[in-house]
A and B are shown apart, each in its own frame.
Chain A
Amino acid sequence: MKKENFLWNSIKTGMLGGSIALFICLIGMTEVFSKRDVIEKVITLGQFVLLATSVMTGLIASRQTSQLVGENRSLHRLTAGLVAGLMTGVVLALFVLAGDKVNIRAVFLNATPGLYNILTFEKGVSGVWVLPVISAVSGLIGAAFLLLPQAAQKPLTQATLFLFFMALFSGLFRVVLINQGTNWEKIAKYLYGQTGVTSEGALIFFFAVVIISVLWSWRGQSVKTSVAHLPKGGKLTLRLLAFAAIGYVALGLPQVSGPFIAQVIVTVALFILMGLGLNITLGFAGLLDLGFVAFYAIGAYTVGLLTSYGPFGLQHISFWAAVPIAVLVAMAAGFVLGLPVLGVRGDYLAIATLGFGEIVRLLAGSDFLAKYFGGPQGVIGIQKPCLGVLEPFVKIDVPRVCNGIELGKPQDIYYVAVAAALLIAFVAWRLRESRLGRAWMAIREDEDVAEALGVNLIQTKLLAYMLGAAMAGLGGAIFATLIGSIFASSMQLIVSINVVSLIIVGGMGSIPGVIVGAIALIGLPELLREVSEFRYLLYGMTLIIMMLSKPEGLWPSQAAKRELHHVEASTEAEL
């Protein structure tokens, strides 16, 4: 590669980086994020994102010069980073200059004076040169980073990421720490400010991670080997200790963390339940269902109608008695849906099930059936589960009094939800290893061959639908009692899409994959509520990037791994 070429390349990379930075500005992210700090009084989240873009641009431009050889290689790499970073800044500066002349806001709503202020560091048009300079320096830093030895790169990256993570969740950590008492309150206020970490906290986090990372790379291997060389009994003890620690934390967590984290974990657990259900129909048996929310809705409405003391309650039975009924009703619904679509294959199946899900939602929310399901007013006054020795199974009295412990708060429902998720994960795991599970997988691979081998297609497929539906129904049942009211508007198509996505992102057919997928796609966005404005934008990006970089999922099953590599080997065999 010639020298001119590499400069031109860096300019192109820089302009691409600049376009990305401009995109971030125009969708309003910069301005919204500027209200949050990464390090208090030092750098806001908005600035951090823009700088990170410049650093990454510089890094990529510098990496593109890797074919270059010769004495000035390091110099070339640094130049490339500098130029790319500069170009990123120049694109933004040009945008500011253009915005000074014409009213960009007439089209792009987020080209606000506030944004210009951020980009010019509140100096007006005269401050337009500051950003390219900072950006160029960032690009240079990105390039210089590549010149560092591998041993230095890793701790630095880890420390920066950890600091970023701490800053993102600072509000959460702060509040939870403060709730633990006076001493913890002091620590919390030392480390975290209202909207980010403090400078002292930033230093502590950064160097702590660097030190740990360096120590680990120095001694980690020997720790691993010594663990691997432990005698069998020792390993078992270690594992038991780990389980005990996990169980201890899981049991105590909601009491320590307060309702919010418990609520988020319950939501994740509900999606895990749905995910495990769909994992049977889609992951094991290969039947794509885009209307899975229907079973969730059926479970929720069954519990709602059976236990509610609102105007639509039918029976006022206890939650514990209603749940099995809800599961059975959802199972029956799976049977009813399964029958007509049995013969439907491939993408027709996706759209038929989507239609079914929508029909259920429309009917539940319609005025036509409002006298049974409450229509738009929903089913309200759903009772909370009650744990009591003398709690009768079925109660008729209104209003009901709980004679034991009422599981009313999210922290209490947490135990119900997590226990249900664990139980169903175990059931799903046993199912997969069973004869039925192997029949499902045979159908997924090739229906005709499976049939020829004596698998009864109708029966096997129906069972997949029914068991999947039952698990989703259980999720819906817990949802009903968590929120205490159900509305048809909660049962949108987006829920079904979320479930399909979390299975694929986690790894199709893999039970741990469902859990990982639910945490990544449901849990993280719930925790990061401050950026809810950009939730689905980031969600969409994550889906695309995941599919491009790791299509087998975060935690693939062994079979999927093999299959995917096989497919890659014989390209386009599927088509």
Chain B
Amino acid sequence: MRTSFGERMLDLIVSGFLWGIRILIVSVIVIGTIGTLRTGQYTSEQWIDFVVFGVAQGSIYALIALGYTMVYGILRMINFAHGDIFMTGAFGAYFIATWLTNTGFVDANPVLGLLIPILFAMGIAAAIAMLVERIAYRPLRGAPRLVPLISAIGASFFLEYAFRGFFGPGKYAYPPIKALEGSWEIFGIGILKVQIVVTIAAFIMMAILYFIVMFTKVGKAMRAVSENKDTAALMGIDVNRIIVSTFALGAAMAGAAGVLFSLVYRQIDFFMGFTPGIKAFTAAVLGGIGNIPGAMVGGLVLGVFESIGPSLFLEGLGITRPYQLKDAIAYTMLVMILLFRPSGILGERLTTKKA
């Protein structure tokens, strides 16, 4: 290849610049951390609190991220409407949960009172996701990659504003479950019951999903389809059916996440899926998109960094009101991952073939 002097200089500038950014980000983090720790403002219990809050938030991100990553793995498409599927689940569960709470059922059977809304939310989310896939995505299979992306953006708006039309722009308070109020002592540290339950529930869901994908027939078929659709079809796999079940499974996870989110944050509205959706996609990329354990790890890492980051990295640098920049931490992390390890934490290196 012909390379002139100018081009080599440009290459040099580019790589120098990249290294500059890497060094800058790392040193900012290190200096900030040292600065915060030296002031000794937080007790170790408060640090643990930060981590616990982060894990609860992160496990919800992880559940949503699973849907992104599965659909991406199989169709190479960003399902932009996935965050709104999460919202539909939360709304579905809200009405059931309110009804069950008002009849006193939840107080009598807290476990069922938690499970029924979750199952209901999973069902609603899966049904809506299948509908969206049928109407807005399936006819576009094989179109240039931006076409389904725009269709997904359209589906996202449609879902948000249809729900807004149904239920109004106001906020709904998710009914609290009495049995989940207060906190448990674990190793001498009080941790909110709801955080523990939500985290455990999320991990159970992820385990179930992992089992389905790795060990059942449908799961094997999914993996086959994501490797190569044509070959999978030749092996007698009904590709359409597998794609639909991928959407349904991912949506069910998002629906469950919707309920868990409502339990922790107790407030739902039509726009609640937008930001978590983008965060979850970030988590999926962090973990290595297309990779199921990667989505889980990415979600947890993102949640913990968001929770702990403002006080740990930014406060030490003397930045005022660091929580305003919480999202900036998430996105900086993303850029950092893309700089250091473009394939994500657990992702395999992408071949040069366009992702």
Q: Do A and B interact directly, with beta carbons closer than 8 Å?
A: yes
Which of B76, B136, B167 has a CB less than 8 Å from the CB of A109?
Answer: B167
A561–B332 alpha-carbon span in the complex (Å):
38
A339–B17 alpha-carbon span in the complex (Å):
8
**Is A352 touching B335 in the complex (CB atoms < 8 A)?**
yes
**Contact partners of A341 in chain B: CB under 8 A:** 338
Answer whether residue A107 sits at the interface, using C-beta atoms and an 8 A cutoff: yes
Answer whether residue A567 sits at the interface, using C-beta atoms and an 8 A cutoff: yes
A458–B11 alpha-carbon span in the complex (Å):
8
**Is B165 touching A110 in the complex (CB atoms < 8 A)?**
yes
With A339-B18, A351-B281, A368-B320 in contact, do A543 and B75 touch (Cβ < 8 Å)? Answer: no
Chain B interface size, under 10 / 10 to 19 / 20 to 34 / 35 or more: 35 or more
Answer whether residue A193 sits at the interface, using C-beta atoms and an 8 A cutoff: no
Which of A347, A493, A508, A543 has a CB less than 8 Å from the CB of B151?
Answer: A543
Answer whether residue B208 sits at the interface, using C-beta atoms and an 8 A cutoff: no
**Contact partners of A500 in chain B: CB under 8 A:** 150, 153
With A347-B78, A540-B157 in contact, do A359 and B162 touch (Cβ < 8 Å)? Answer: no
Binding site secondary structure of chain A: helix
What is the minimal beta-carbon distance from B344 to any residue of chain A, in angstroms?
9
A455–B335 alpha-carbon span in the complex (Å):
26
With A109-B167, A363-B325, A540-B158 in contact, do A355 and B334 touch (Cβ < 8 Å)? Answer: yes
**Is A551 touching B136 in the complex (CB atoms < 8 A)?**
no
**Is A539 touching B328 in the complex (CB atoms < 8 A)?**
no
Tell me which residues from 161 to 208 in chain B have a Cβ below 8 Å from any Cβ of chain A. 161-162, 164-168
**Contact partners of B335 in chain A: CB under 8 A:** 340, 352, 355-356
Chain B residue nearest to A572 in the complex (CB): B142
What is the minimal beta-carbon distance from B205 to any residue of chain A, in angstroms?
24
With A567-B142, A572-B141 in contact, do A459 and B161 touch (Cβ < 8 Å)? Answer: no
Which of B14, B136, B145, B328 has a CB less than 8 Å from the CB of A363?
Answer: B328
**Contact partners of B330 in chain A: CB under 8 A:** 355
Answer whether residue A377 sits at the interface, using C-beta atoms and an 8 A cutoff: no
Chain B residue nearest to A343 in the complex (CB): B342
With A340-B18, A458-B10 in contact, do A542 and B331 touch (Cβ < 8 Å)? Answer: no
Answer whether residue A29 sits at the interface, using C-beta atoms and an 8 A cutoff: yes
Answer whether residue B229 sits at the interface, using C-beta atoms and an 8 A cutoff: yes
Binding site secondary structure of chain B: helix
Residue in A282, A342, A547 with the greatest tally of chain B CB atoms within 10 Å:
A547
With A346-B355, A543-B153 in contact, do A537 and B7 touch (Cβ < 8 Å)? Answer: no
Q: How many residues of A contact B (CB 8 A)?
A: 72
Chain B residue nearest to A352 in the complex (CB): B338
Answer whether residue B103 sits at the interface, using C-beta atoms and an 8 A cutoff: no
Which of B17, B142, B332 has a CB less than 8 Å from the CB of A359?
Answer: B332
**Contact partners of A350 in chain B: CB under 8 A:** 78, 149
Answer whether residue B146 sits at the interface, using C-beta atoms and an 8 A cutoff: yes
What is the minimal beta-carbon distance from B326 to any residue of chain A, in angstroms?
9
A571–B332 alpha-carbon span in the complex (Å):
38
Answer whether residue A254 sits at the interface, using C-beta atoms and an 8 A cutoff: no
With A366-B321, A547-B150 in contact, do A563 and B144 touch (Cβ < 8 Å)? Answer: yes
Answer whether residue B37 sits at the interface, using C-beta atoms and an 8 A cutoff: no
A501–B167 alpha-carbon span in the complex (Å):
27
Chain B residue nearest to A505 in the complex (CB): B150
With A354-B278, A458-B14 in contact, do A544 and B162 touch (Cβ < 8 Å)? Answer: no
**0/1 string, B302-320, CB within 8 A of A gives 1:** 0000000000000000011
A23–B285 alpha-carbon span in the complex (Å):
36
A271–B355 alpha-carbon span in the complex (Å):
29
**Contact partners of A456 in chain B: CB under 8 A:** 7, 10
Answer whether residue B21 sits at the interface, using C-beta atoms and an 8 A cutoff: yes
**0/1 string, B325-355, CB within 8 A of A gives 1:** 1011011101100110010000000101011
**Contact partners of A26 in chain B: CB under 8 A:** 165-166
Answer whether residue A122 sits at the interface, using C-beta atoms and an 8 A cutoff: no
**Is A540 touching B21 in the complex (CB atoms < 8 A)?**
no
**Is A108 touching B153 in the complex (CB atoms < 8 A)?**
no
**Is B157 touching A345 in the complex (CB atoms < 8 A)?**
no
Answer whether residue A28 sits at the interface, using C-beta atoms and an 8 A cutoff: yes
Which of A359, A451, A508 has a CB less than 8 Å from the CB of B146?
Answer: A508
A493–B331 alpha-carbon span in the complex (Å):
13
What is the minimal beta-carbon distance from B314 to any residue of chain A, in angstroms?
8
**Is A534 touching B165 in the complex (CB atoms < 8 A)?**
yes
Answer whether residue B148 sits at the interface, using C-beta atoms and an 8 A cutoff: yes
Residue in A108, A541, A544, A568 with the greatest tally of chain B CB atoms within 10 Å:
A544
Answer whether residue A362 sits at the interface, using C-beta atoms and an 8 A cutoff: yes
What is the minimal beta-carbon distance from B141 to any residue of chain A, in angstroms?
7
**Is A536 touching B161 in the complex (CB atoms < 8 A)?**
yes
Answer whether residue B248 sits at the interface, using C-beta atoms and an 8 A cutoff: no
With A347-B355, A359-B332, A572-B141 in contact, do A537 and B158 touch (Cβ < 8 Å)? Answer: yes
What is the minimal beta-carbon distance from A559 to any residue of chain B, in angstroms?
12
**Is B142 touching A571 in the complex (CB atoms < 8 A)?**
yes
What is the minimal beta-carbon distance from A136 to any residue of chain B, in angstroms?
27
**0/1 string, A554-565, CB within 8 A of B gives 1:** 000000000110
**Is B354 touching A345 in the complex (CB atoms < 8 A)?**
yes
With A354-B278, A366-B325, A551-B144 in contact, do A108 and B167 touch (Cβ < 8 Å)? Answer: yes
With A448-B352, A572-B229 in contact, do A362 and B325 touch (Cβ < 8 Å)? Answer: yes
Chain B residue nearest to A351 in the complex (CB): B285
**0/1 string, B8-21, CB within 8 A of A gives 1:** 00110010011001
**Contact partners of A356 in chain B: CB under 8 A:** 331, 335
A458–B142 alpha-carbon span in the complex (Å):
30
Tell me which residues from 1 to 35 in chain B have a Cβ below 8 Å from any Cβ of chain A. 1-2, 7, 10-11, 14, 17-18, 21
Chain A residue nearest to B278 in the complex (CB): A354
Answer whether residue B289 sits at the interface, using C-beta atoms and an 8 A cutoff: yes
Which of A28, A108, A347, A504 has a CB less than 8 Å from the CB of B147?
Answer: A504
What is the minimal beta-carbon distance from A487 to any residue of chain B, in angstroms?
15
A339–B11 alpha-carbon span in the complex (Å):
10
Answer whether residue B59 sits at the interface, using C-beta atoms and an 8 A cutoff: no
**Contact partners of B320 in chain A: CB under 8 A:** 367-368
**Is A547 touching B140 in the complex (CB atoms < 8 A)?**
yes
Answer whether residue A548 sits at the interface, using C-beta atoms and an 8 A cutoff: yes
A539–B154 alpha-carbon span in the complex (Å):
7
**Is B334 touching A352 in the complex (CB atoms < 8 A)?**
yes
Answer whether residue B235 sits at the interface, using C-beta atoms and an 8 A cutoff: no
**Is B157 touching A539 in the complex (CB atoms < 8 A)?**
yes
**Contact partners of B325 in chain A: CB under 8 A:** 362-363, 366, 368
Chain B residue nearest to A366 in the complex (CB): B324
**Is B328 touching A537 in the complex (CB atoms < 8 A)?**
no
**Contact partners of B328 in chain A: CB under 8 A:** 358-359, 362-363
Answer whether residue B139 sits at the interface, using C-beta atoms and an 8 A cutoff: yes
**Contact partners of A575 in chain B: CB under 8 A:** 75-76, 141-142, 229
A8–B144 alpha-carbon span in the complex (Å):
38
**0/1 string, A268-289, CB within 8 A of B gives 1:** 0000000000000010000010
Chain A residue nearest to B165 in the complex (CB): A27
Answer whether residue B156 sits at the interface, using C-beta atoms and an 8 A cutoff: yes
With A344-B342, A347-B289, A574-B145 in contact, do A109 and B154 touch (Cβ < 8 Å)? Answer: no
A-B contact list, 7 entries, CB within 8 Å? A362-B327, A363-B325, A536-B157, A551-B147, A567-B142, A567-B143, A572-B142
State the A residues within 8 Å of B (CB): 23, 26-29, 107-110, 282, 288, 339-348, 350-352, 354-356, 358-359, 362-363, 365-368, 447-448, 451-452, 454, 456, 458-459, 493, 497, 500-501, 504-505, 508, 534, 536-537, 539-544, 546-548, 551, 563-564, 567-568, 571-575
State the B residues within 8 Å of A (CB): 1-2, 7, 10-11, 14, 17-18, 21, 72, 75-76, 78, 95, 135-136, 139-151, 153-162, 164-168, 229-230, 278, 281-282, 285, 289, 319-322, 324-325, 327-328, 330-332, 334-335, 338-339, 342, 350, 352, 354-355
The 3 closest A-B pairs by CB, nearest first: A27-B165, A543-B154, A540-B157
